[in-house]
Amino acid sequence: MSDPVKNQYEMRDPREQYPKPPFPEQPQSAPGLAQEMTPKPDHGENSYQGFGRLKGRKALITGGDSGIGRAVAIAYAREGADVAINYLPSEEADAQEVIEFIRAAGQKAVAIPGDLKDESFCQELVERTVQELGGLDILVSNAGRQTFQTSIADITTAQFDETFKANVYALFWITKAAVPHMKPGATIITTSSINARQPSETLLDYATTKAAIAAYTQALSGQLAEKGIRANTVAPGPFWTALQPSGGQSQEKVKEFGSDVPLGRPGQPAEIAPIYVLLASQESSFMTGGLFPVTGGELM
């Protein structure tokens, strides 16, 4: 495996760029911490280089403590944006690392812990972001809940309800609160999944929410076009994040996670952050209503 930190832009074999399975079993309690994973995920801490593409923008990222959200927060800060991140209180250790990376990039960082399953908190999250950053130009709805179950008989109403509240209701509540603060040129980016089109049999409730997110974002894009606000969704395949070992997959699947995609390994968060940068920047000014797969070659 080549060194991914050496040079982000050096040409390399993507199959060998990052660790491949098998991985060790590593059970964690949900929602999990990136710093306890083996191998540790690459969020671009030592590799992402910014070019000022988001200079002066104000961004809110949910699930910004680890995984994809963490990589996006680091990338946005290095592209010149001030960043507010949301996360659960139990994820504070990971979140504080992200805050330091944002500040090290010379940008304002705001940490807003809280549970997105609460409508009033979602409204407060947006208001605090606008107040502390002085506006809101980029909304990245990324936080998600995923719990594997082998049978529908094992999915309780409480689990089904919590998955929908965290993944779909929160997206609705936050967007509804955010849009009045957004000006023409602002962008909304959601996180769907390959499960929206290829649902895993062990992720029945999660896959259903990810299909809903894709449809929601595409419908929303039509509403917001007349306001000059764009909305797009990213559909990740298997990515090496704390969501997986903390109940998102069985430990047996964690050991072989990502082995079944054409590139033969899971993606690292640093590898998906650039599409979130593109969709937030003016370079994607004619892109709205799109679904962008980042799947290691697995077709949607």
Q: What is the mean pLDDT of the chain?
A: 95
pLDDT in tens, 186-230: 999 999 999 999 999 999 999 999 999 999 999 999 999 999 999
The pLDDT of residue 33 is above 90: no
Q: Which residues of 148-175 are buried (b: 16+ CB within 10 A; e: fewer)?
A: bbeeeeeeeeeebebbbbbbbbbbbbbb
Confidence of residue 104 (pLDDT cuts 50, 70, 90): very high
Q: Which residues are catalytic?
A: 206
pLDDT band at 234 (very low <50, low <70, confident <90, very high): very high
Q: List the domains of the chain with CATH numbers.
A: 44-294 (3.40.50.720)
pLDDT in tens, 260-280: 999 999 999 999 999 999 999
Confidence of residue 283 (pLDDT cuts 50, 70, 90): very high
pLDDT category at 5 given cuts 50, 70, 90 is: low
Give the per-residue pLDDT at 2.
45
